[in-house]
Structure formats: structure tokens, C-alpha cells
Amino acid sequence: MAQANLNTSRFTDIPGEPVYKSLIPIKGYNDKPIVSLTEAVKSVEHLFEDLQDYVKLSLQNCKKPAEGLTQNEAASIQLYTIEFDGGPSLYQELNDALRAEKRENLKPWFSYLKLFLTALYKLPSKTDTVFRGVKHVDLSDKYPTGFKFAWWGVSSCTTRIDVLKSEKFFGTSSPKPLVSSSSPAKLQPAVQQLQKPNSVPPYKQNLSQKENEIVEKLRSNDQTLTTLKIAGNDISDEGTKAIAEALKTNQTLETLDMRNNNISSEGAKAIAEALKTNRTLETLNIWTNNISDEGAKAIAEALKTNQTLKTLDIGYNNISDEGAKAIAEALKTNRTLETLNIWSNNISSEGAKAIAEALKTNQTLKTLDIGYNNISDEGAKAIAEA
């Protein structure tokens, strides 16, 4: 009997929702880097028995993920659905933390939430009618007809009412209360009041009208928006951060031209984070900005995992040998970049030789523009012989 209750509790834990409470929005999880599922749950491992065994099981079952998810992203969703033996399941502890007034309780979950929500927001949305159930409790007073309510936990629903009426859930032999959403609901993965991965962070208020318009376009996932040219628009780091945030979940854009703006390494770092999850962008042009080695290193790190970018133009910035070496390291493992323009920076022969060394093993780069730098004959020779 206890096991039966556990197996249905993801769909029937409505009484635990603090419907009439206003909880403080959760801040900070979105600043966490995306890490492996094994790493993401380490800070909550003490709450469970054999958690890493369930992590391994989830990863094993997600070797061929769909919808552009990585193995770790897909496994983070499956881990949420698994019923653990001999103790509370992950979804129970997570939802308890999400519904708690003490928001400090959620901090150990930040790394998992970043991975989990990044995965959910890659999934396609759907409009449908969905149902949830509740056992032996009359919630008609708590949920009067015609009102809208926010659920703070991650909600598991079903599109088929017969599922909830099955013997595994409530059965049909005797009257039992049923709570359902009888009006169309947008089936978009979300955690109420969280700073969602595809939402514009608090700095939106500092954006120009032009920057806000750009962000809204990207967030709309308009199927016709495949190229966005916003060169020479005086876009700042704040605007770049908002654009990058929208890029994390945008599924249509293939070309982004942001040359000749006011983007520094801070903005470049935000773009780099977006490149780690974006699955459609093929061309990125950010030349003639104020990007230094720190920004170049962040983008180089993203290139190690990005699987779609084919053209990167980062010329006419403030990149020196340190940034060039980081890009060189990325070229040793990157398998998609075909064109790299890093012309007119502050790269000397030392940086050029590092890139030349990378070209000896790189099999995909076809075009390299490294002109107008501080490269001597020695550096040029190394590039030529690579």
C-alpha cells in the first residue's frame, strides 16, 4: 500500500501546494554553470539513500536523448520521475524545498535546477487540457471555479482523465474527489516564480527599447526568424546578457550579427554560456567590440562543447596571446567550426604558434583569418606549415 501511494504521489500531491501564500522568487540558480548530473546532485546527496545509483540508471536510460537534449539533461528529467526504494524520492524533496517559505532550503538544489530547467525549456510546448488528482480530500473550497492558481512545485500532469481513474490511482468503484484543469493549459515546463532560463533577468529594466525588442523577438521562437542583424546598434553588456539569455532556449536563429557594438568581455561571457546550450546558431559575428582575453577564453570554453557553430568572427577586438591560446585549445576538440576570423587583435607569434599546433589535429576548420596582428615571420611560418 505504501508503495502504491508513492507511485502516484507525483500526480496527487496537490494538498501540499501553498496556494494562498506569496513566496519570495528564487534567485541565483541561473548563475550556476551547467554540470553533469552526477555533479549537480552532490549537494543534496545526503538527503537520499543510494542517489548515485539512480543517477547511473537515469544516464544509462538516456544514451540517445531526443529533442536536442544532452544525455545529462535528459537524465535529469528522468531522475525526477523515478520512485526511490526505502525513502523519499528526489521529486518529493525537491517539491518540498520549492514550496517552503524558507528559500535558503533551495540553495543546495541550484545546480540540479539549472540542469533540469535547461532541459525542460528545450522541450516543445503544447496546448492541451491536463489533469491532476487528489485522494480523500475535498479541495473545492481551496480551488474555487474560475480562479487562477500558481503551483510552486514541479507539476506532474496527465492529458488522459482515464489514467487518474485507473485502479493504480483512484479507481472507479466509489466516488473520489478529482481536481482537474478543465480549460486548455499550455504544457510548458516551468517552476512558478523561478527565474526561468528563457526569461529576461532583472536587468531588463536597464535595456534600451531596441534591446528589449530584440529579446522579445528571440523569446518568441518565431519560425521565420533565422537571421538577426543588429550591427552598429550601440548594444551594451546588459543588452547582450539579455539577448544571450534568450538564445539559450531559442530554437530558430541560425545567424547572429552583433558587430560594431559596445560589448566587453562581460557580454562575451554571457554569449559563451548561451553557446553551451543553443542548438541552432551557425554563424556568430562579434567583431569590432571591446572583447579582451577573458571574453575570448569564455567563448573558447563554449566551443569545446558547442556542436552547431560553423562561423565565428571575433576580429578587431582586444584579444592577445592568452585568448588566442584558449581558442587554440578549443580547436583541438571542436568538430564543427569551419571559419574563424580573429584578425586585427593583439596576437603575436606565440599565439599564432599555439593556433598552428591546434590545426595539426583539427579536421574541420577550412578558413582562418589571422591577419593584421603582431605576428612575425616565425609565427606566419608555423601557420603555413600546420
Please tell me what DSSP assigns to residue 131. Answer: B
- Say yes or no: 31 and 102 in one domain: yes
Domain check: are 227 and 182 in the same one? no
Q: Are residues 128 and 251 in the same domain?
A: no
**Beta strand pairing call for 367-369 and 126-128:** unpaired
pLDDT averages per 10-residue partition of the chain, 386 residues = 40 51 69 91 91 91 86 92 83 84 85 89 70 59 58 65 55 46 38 35 54 81 85 88 91 92 95 95 95 97 96 95 97 96 94 96 95 91 89
Q: Do residues 381 and 325 share a domain?
A: yes
Same domain, yes or no: 268 and 357 = yes
Question: Which pairs with CB-CB distance under 8 Å and at least 24 residues apart come from 79-84?
Answer: 79/37, 79/41, 79/54, 79/55, 80/116, 80/154, 81/10, 81/156, 82/54, 82/57, 82/58, 83/3, 83/6, 83/7, 84/48, 84/49, 84/50, 84/54
Per the structure, the complete domain to which residue 7 belongs is given by 2-187
Q: How far apart are CA 274 and CA 179, in angstroms?
A: 39
CA–CA separation, 262 and 280 (whole Å): 25
In this structure, what CATH number is given to the domain that contains residue 36?
A: 3.90.176
CATH code at position 244: 3.80.10.10
Phi, psi of 227 (to 5 degrees): -130, 130
Question: Residues 143, 287: one domain?
Answer: no
Nearest to 78 by CA among 52, 59, 50: 59
Cα–Cα distances in angstroms (integers) from residue 271 to residues 109, 190, 346, 354, in the given order:
25, 23, 22, 24
Q: State the total domains in the chain.
A: 2
Question: Are 67 and 157 within one domain?
Answer: yes
The answer to whether position 196 is within a domain reads no
Q: Judge contact between 256 and 226, C-beta under 8 A.
A: no
User: Where does a domain end: 187, 222, 239?
Assistant: 187
Asked if the structure places residue 192 within a domain, the reply is no
Cβ neighbours, 10 Å, residue 299: 26
Q: Quick one: pLDDT at residue 179?
A: 46
* Same domain as 177, residue 217: no
How does pLDDT run across 287-339, given as a tens digit for each residue? 999 999 999 999 999 999 999 999 999 999 999 999 999 999 999 999 999 99
Give me the pLDDT at residue 178, please.
44
d(CA 380, CA 361): 18
User: Is the same domain home to 294 and 259?
Assistant: yes
Eight-state DSSP code of residue 47? G
With a threshold of 0.85, does the pTM exceed it?
no
* C-alpha–C-alpha distance, residues 66 and 35, integer Å: 19
Nearest residue to 150 via CA among 320, 21, 293: 21
Q: Do 271 and 321 have their domain in common? A: yes
Strand boundaries in the chain, DSSP class E = 126-128, 185-187, 227-229, 255-257, 283-285, 311-313, 339-341, 367-369
What does DSSP say about strands 185-187 and 339-341: parallel, antiparallel, or unpaired?
A: unpaired
